[in-house]
Amino acid sequence: MQVFSIPKSIKENSRFTFCPGCDHGVAIRLVAETLDKLNLRENTIAVASSGCSVFLYNFLDVDCVESPHGRACAVATGIKRVNKAVGKDKFVFTYQGDGDFASIGLGESLHSALRGENITAICINNTNYGMTGGQMGPTSTMGQVTTTSPMGRNREYHGFPIKTAEHIALCDGTVFSARVALYDYKNIINAKNVIEKAFMAQSKNKGFSFVEILSSCPTNWKLTPKQAHDKIENELIKTYPLGIFKDTTNE
């Protein structure tokens, strides 16, 4: 009996090209497993963005369009709306980094939530701009050393990090907003369940659903994969507590 296989929504013979210990691969796999489980693959249009998350379409075997940096939720809005106008109910989700969703694209992200766009956004939060080599982003934590905050993030020069999932939960158009992590087996299983809930919210036409995934970035954090996951468990969740901040799917 086969108990473990590659999800149907992952391209055949694809190999993740992310850095060793990076959680992107796990996150994409969870998305693929959930698409399989909910039988959504053949009705899905995914929106990739800029940064490490852009490579989504190299691995995921669904129709996919790349968005300009930060604009994924606007692109997804257009896809969802025009298809609805011609009688097609498509499943539309974005896959973005924290810089994409919560920095350059905060306007598009927040307004999509406020309008209650019936789309799902997955945001990989690794507290830095990963692809460009680990610069400080709005999600970098206080004291975090990056290539553009060499003395550590501080209030005087850099201000405070954004708690994205909590902000999105405040929007009336949001039906589901949660933060999960992938540092151990238990959290990975939980993350998959949460992604499923977010996808279900869209399938029920309830409004904007959002999952922030705390992810490791060992290369830029200058840590081993194990140390990076320990950092998430011991430090990051103090700034970014895990949990479901809003769920009105069944109301």
Partner 1 sequence: MSKELIKGNIAIAKAALKAGLKAYFGYPITPQTDIGEYLSYEMPKRNLAYVCAESEIGAINMALGAATSGEKVMVSSSSCAVSLMQEALSYACSDELPLVLVNVMRAGPGQGYIYPSQGDYNQAVTGGGNGDYQVVVLSPSTLPEACDLTQRAFYISQKYKIPTMLLVDGLLGQMAEPVEISESKYPEIDNSSWILDGAKGRASREIHSLEPSQYKLNQHIVSLFKKYKEIEQNECDWEEYMMDDAEILVTSFGTMARYAKSVVKDLRQNGIKIGLFRPKTLFPFPSKRLGELSLKVKHIIDIEMNMGQMLKDVRLSVLNNAVVSFIGKPVGDWLKREEMKSAINNIIKESYASI
Residues that bind partner 1 (CB under 8 A): 11, 41-45, 47-48, 54, 57, 60-68, 71, 74-79, 81-86, 88, 90-91, 107-108, 111, 115
| DSSP three-state, residue 86 | coil
Least spacing, CB of residue 129 vs partner 1, in Å: 16
Question: In whole angstroms, how close is the CB of 75 to partner 1 at the nearest point?
Answer: 4
Q: Which is nearer to partner 1, 45 or 228 (CB)?
A: 45
Burial degree of 20 (CB within 10 A; 0-12, 13-18, 19+) = exposed
**Parallel, antiparallel, or unpaired for β 91-97 and 174-181?**
unpaired
Please, what is the end-to-end C-alpha distance for the chain in angstroms? 41
In whole angstroms, what is the distance from residue 231 CA to residue 133 CA?
19
Nearer to partner 1, 55 or 240 (CB): 55
**In the complex, what is the shortest distance from the CB of residue 15 to partner 1, in angstroms, rounded to a whole number?**
15
Of 31 and 74, nearer to partner 1 (C-beta) is 74
Shortest CA distance to 182 belongs to which of 217, 210, 158, 157?
217
Of 166, 165, 187, 168, whose CA–CA distance to 27 is shortest? 187
Nearest approach in angstroms of CB 95 to partner 1 is: 13
Q: Which is nearer to partner 1, 114 or 145 (CB)?
A: 114
Q: Are 239 and 144 in contact (CB under 8 A)?
A: no
Least distance in angstroms from the C-beta of 89 to partner 1: 10
Q: Give the nearest distance from C-beta 96 to partner 1 in angstroms.
A: 13
Minimum Å gap between C-beta 118 and partner 1 is 13
Nearer to partner 1, 61 or 247 (CB): 61
Q: DSSP of 130-165, one letter per residue?
A: TTTT-B--TTPPTT--BTTBTT---HHHH-----HH
By beta-carbon proximity to partner 1, the closer residue of 133 and 241 is 133
How many residues appear in the chain?
251
Based on CB atoms, which residue is closest to partner 1, 42 or 184? 42
* DSSP bridge pairs for 177: 210, 246
* Cβ neighbours around 44 below 10 Å, total: 20
